[in-house]
């Protein structure tokens, strides 16, 4: 079977190519892609560029294909990675530390395409929602992990740093957890994201282009800080944190943005905790799907742009270069 898939070398060099699967094992599932979100990880990869053309897209909803390529009635999402369930870590109850993670990242096929291939263990059924919304189960699972690592309680004052889709969903999850106040660090030009943060439960926006976060004195000070910004921003979080605060982060940096410089004495005397959240393997996909299906997290509000696969070039451009207007860009196959 041949199908179309988007390939990139840079933002300015995205093409649709006819491709095919080299092989399909007994432990893999084929699907027709209904929708694929463009994630921050995809954006960073595209912006860094590649010498060779590569496929992209790991937030995927689709329909299972039989071995003859005929769509079945099963609507599914894909976990970007799944615990094997068999290694010593999994059997000891630490599936989060699985040493034999199964992932379609181990292949070269991704979701901005007509078809996709995945380890069968990563295929989860869903119903009751738009496929574009269902794709949000992958980043929502990441946001759930971030909030669980931070241990938000109804007594928490929360600061969310980085208002991409994951940060915005973290705002909503903090509200659902009963946090008594939620701050959101942002930039004034990102009006759509800022409006959604307030809608999702933020009580106050902190525009860093007006007053840098490190120069603020917040009252009450946040005792739970959730950062999806690059790691280089963590030092600023230390300055505004309340004594005993948990700082949880998922942001990935490249080059200088991967470096963390912390004010050591302040970190020490405030008795802070720095907690990394790396949501692989994915462990909360059923929870994420239920939050989306029930509307407790309103996924439709996060989707700012939908493009057909034929317009993948424009979809990538908007996702990579228009942060003031784009929240979540989804490529859909009708």
Average pLDDT of the chain?
96
pLDDT (tens digit, 9 = 90+) per residue, 55-111?
Answer: 999 999 999 999 888 889 999 999 999 999 999 999 999 999 999 999 999 999 999
Tell me the CATH number for domain 140-276.
Answer: 3.40.50.720
Give me 79's structure tokens: 């976990």
In the prediction, which pLDDT does 67 show?
Answer: 81
Domain boundaries, the chain: 2-136+297-332, 140-276
Check if 2-136+297-332 and 140-276 are the same fold: no
User: pTM (2 decimals)?
Assistant: 0.95
Q: Look at the alpha carbons of 207, 210, 216, 217 in this order and tell me if their dihedral is positive or negative.
A: negative
Q: Which CATH superfamily is domain 2-136+297-332 in?
A: Medium-chain alcohol dehydrogenases, catalytic domain (3.90.180.10)
Residue 1 predicted with pLDDT over 90 = no
> How far is it, in rounded angstroms, from Cα 58 to Cα 290?
20
* Burial profile 137-172: b = 16 or more Cβ within 10 angstroms, e = fewer: bbbbbbbbbbbbbbebeeebbbbbbbbbbbbbbbbb
User: What are 8-18's pLDDT values in tens digits?
Assistant: 999 999 999 99
The mean per-residue pLDDT over the stretch 183-189 comes to: 97
CB 270 within 8 A of CB 245: yes
**pLDDT for 23 beyond 90:** no
């Amino acid at each position: 079977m041949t199908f179309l898939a988007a390939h990139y070398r840079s933002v300015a060099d995205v093409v649709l190519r006819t491709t095919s699967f080299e092989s399909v094992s007994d432990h893999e599932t084929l699907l027709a892609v209904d929708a694929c979100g463009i994630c921050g990880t995809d954006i960073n990869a595209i912006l860094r560029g590649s010498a060779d053309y590569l496929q992209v897209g790991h937030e995927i909803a689709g329909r299972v294909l039989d071995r003859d390529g005929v769509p079945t009635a099963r609507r599914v999402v894909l976990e970007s990675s799944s615990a094997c369930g068999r290694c010593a870590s999994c059997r000891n109850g630490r599936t989060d530390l699985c040493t034999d993670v199964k992932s379609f990242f181990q292949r070269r096929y991704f979701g901005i395409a007509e078809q996709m291939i995945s380890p069968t263990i990563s295929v989860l059924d869903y119903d009751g929602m738009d496929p574009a919304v269902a794709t949000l189960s992958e980043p929502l699972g990441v946001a759930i992990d971030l909030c669980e690592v931070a241990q938000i309680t109804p007594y928490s004052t929360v600061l969310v740093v980085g208002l991409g889709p994951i940060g915005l969903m973290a705002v909503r999850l903090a509200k659902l957890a009963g946090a008594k106040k939620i701050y959101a660090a942002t930039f004034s030009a990102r009006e759509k994201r800022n409006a959604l943060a307030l809608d999702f439960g933020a009580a106050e926006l902190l525009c860093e282009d007006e007053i840098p976060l490190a120069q603020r004195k917040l009252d009450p000070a946040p005792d739970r800080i959730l950062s999806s910004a690059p790691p280089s921003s963590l030092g600023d979080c230390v300055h505004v944190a309340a004594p005993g605060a948990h700082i949880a982060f998922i942001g990935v940096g490249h080059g200088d943005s991967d470096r963390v410089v912390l004010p050591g004495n302040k970190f020490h005397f405030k008795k802070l905790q720095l907690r990394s959240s790396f949501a692989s393997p994915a462990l909360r996909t059923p929870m994420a799907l239920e939050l989306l299906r029930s509307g407790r997290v309103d996924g439709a509000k996060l989707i700012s742009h939908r493009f057909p696969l034929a317009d993948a070039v424009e979809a990538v451009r908007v996702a990579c270069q228009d942060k003031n207007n784009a929240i979540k860009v989804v490529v859909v196959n009708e």
